[in-house]
């Protein structure tokens, strides 16, 4: 049954959908131009507003490509307080480049990380000294024509009826999936049974040249937010009472996993890319004190950790037991060879044609 609030918003969603379709038509017919670049470009995106796992899939691509190619990641830099093209440096922070680019910068020191609202401007700056550029969350940015587009679908959301914004969380029409090269159904907890694969195939209805892959998330052991001093050994933490402190689109899968691991979770949830304030940390401290005294911890995501490391919050967080949880993805195909080979073949071919 459709809720009253959604019914009231449906006219606005229809208008939004009409605008999106007209925009796509203008690009498809060449009225609006999509710029081509000489460098191989892989776009990672989705049709919904966040929560499909773009960040860990981008990291997967970096790990796959970095041993063989000079890799750059270009993002818009959501949540940053700056404008224009910025190439990340050791002095960058989440406020200057955004939380996701900051995470890439820390995890992949040999990879160029840059941000730009206008991706064409960023690609112009990066194309000559890199072998491949990964566009993070740029599927709707049609001013650039990537060589390969990966479109991600959260498996839970994909099994539900979806509505366009503001009646739902779709930021693009479902038919826009036709431009993608590869579909990835994400956040599966196990290899999908044949019947579920068939369902997803019917739902996505891929064209002949489009392929579907399936991936799941692996959560690593919690790591301390701040470095452990030399000479000290971090023994890890056992499940207990914890505040799950997040500012991401969908923290539910993480909460479900933590609770299945034995954690007793009290969620404190903020909007996606929320800039944490000192007031937020005061509220966190009070909430932590309300938990039972033994084994009380603050858990957060790796992306949120980038914003919590802001210097203005350091003095409030240093004495709190704050841990972040790294994640990575794994593909449910034969030794990852199918997906990996698709990516490597494209980059080798495109780079060879330069």
Of the pLDDT bands very low, low, confident and very high (cuts 50, 70, 90), residue 237 is confident
Residue-wise pLDDT tens digits, 170-222: 999 999 999 999 999 999 988 999 999 999 999 999 999 999 999 999 999 99
User: Is there a single domain that holds both residue 145 and residue 204?
Assistant: yes
User: Do 70 and 99 have their domain in common?
Assistant: yes
pLDDT at 231: 44
CA atoms of 127 and 132, how far apart (whole Å): 8
The mean per-residue pLDDT over the stretch 302-322 comes to 93
pLDDT in tens, 9-21: 999 999 999 999 9
Tokens of 138: 């740029």
Is the same domain home to 230 and 163? Answer: no
Q: What is the CATH number of the domain that holds 73?
A: 3.40.50.300
Same domain, 71 and 166: yes
Number of domains in the chain: 2
For residues 141 and 23, the answer to whether their CB atoms sit within 8 Å is: no
Whether 208 and 281 map to the same domain: the answer is no
CA distance 308 to 275: 9
Check whether residue 181 and residue 230 sit in a common domain. no
d(CA 72, CA 326): 21
Residue range of the domain that includes 60 = 4-18+26-219+330-352
CATH of the domain at 298: 3.40.50
What is the pLDDT confidence band of residue 336, given thresholds at 50, 70 and 90? low
Same domain, yes or no: 296 and 274: yes
Domain co-membership, 193 together with 270: no
Kindly report the pTM of this predicted structure: 0.90
In a shared domain, residues 43 and 174: yes
151 and 84: one domain? yes
Indicate if 121 and 107 belong to the same structural domain.
yes
Please check whether residues 76 and 111 belong to one and the same domain: yes
pLDDT at 43 over 60: yes
């Amino acid at each position: 049954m459709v809720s009253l609030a959604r019914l009231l918003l449906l006219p606005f969603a229809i208008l939004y959908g009409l605008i999106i379709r007209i925009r796509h038509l203008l690009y498809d017919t060449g009225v609006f131009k999509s710029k081509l670049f000489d460098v191989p470009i892989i776009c990672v995106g989705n049709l919904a507003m966040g929560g499909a796992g773009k960040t860990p899939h981008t990291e997967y691509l970096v790990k796959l490509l970095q041993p063989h190619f000079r890799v750059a990641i270009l993002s818009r830099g959501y949540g940053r307080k700056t404008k224009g093209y910025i190439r990340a440096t050791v002095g960058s922070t989440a406020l200057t480049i955004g939380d996701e680019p900051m995470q890439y910068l820390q995890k992949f020191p040999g990879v160029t990380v840059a941000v730009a609202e206008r991706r064409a401007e960023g690609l112009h700056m990066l194309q000559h000294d890199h072998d491949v550029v990964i566009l993070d969350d740029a599927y709707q940015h049609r001013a650039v024509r990537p060589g390969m587009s990966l479109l991600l679908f959260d498996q839970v959301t994909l099994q539900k009826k979806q509505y366009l914004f503001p009646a739902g969380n779709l930021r693009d029409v479902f038919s826009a999936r036709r431009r993608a090269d590869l579909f990835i159904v994400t956040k599966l907890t196990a290899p999908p049974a044949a019947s579920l694969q068939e369902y997803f195939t019917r739902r996505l209805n891929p064209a002949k040249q489009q392929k579907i892959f399936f991936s799941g998330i692996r959560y690593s052991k919690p790591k301390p937010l701040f470095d452990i001093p030399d000479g000290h050994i971090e023994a890890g933490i056992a499940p207990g009472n914890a505040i799950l402190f997040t500012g991401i689109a969908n923290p539910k899968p993480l909460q479900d996993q933590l609770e299945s691991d034995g954690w007793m979770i009290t969620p404190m949830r903020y909007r996606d890319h929320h800039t944490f304030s000192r007031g937020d940390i005061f509220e966190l401290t009070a909430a932590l004190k309300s938990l039972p005294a033994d084994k009380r911890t603050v858990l957060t995501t790796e992306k949120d950790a980038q914003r919590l490391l802001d210097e203005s919050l350091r003095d409030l967080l240093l004495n709190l037991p704050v841990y972040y949880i790294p994640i990575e993805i794994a593909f449910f195909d034969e030794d990852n060879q199918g997906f990996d080979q698709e990516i490597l073949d494209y980059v080798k071919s495109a780079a060879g044609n330069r």
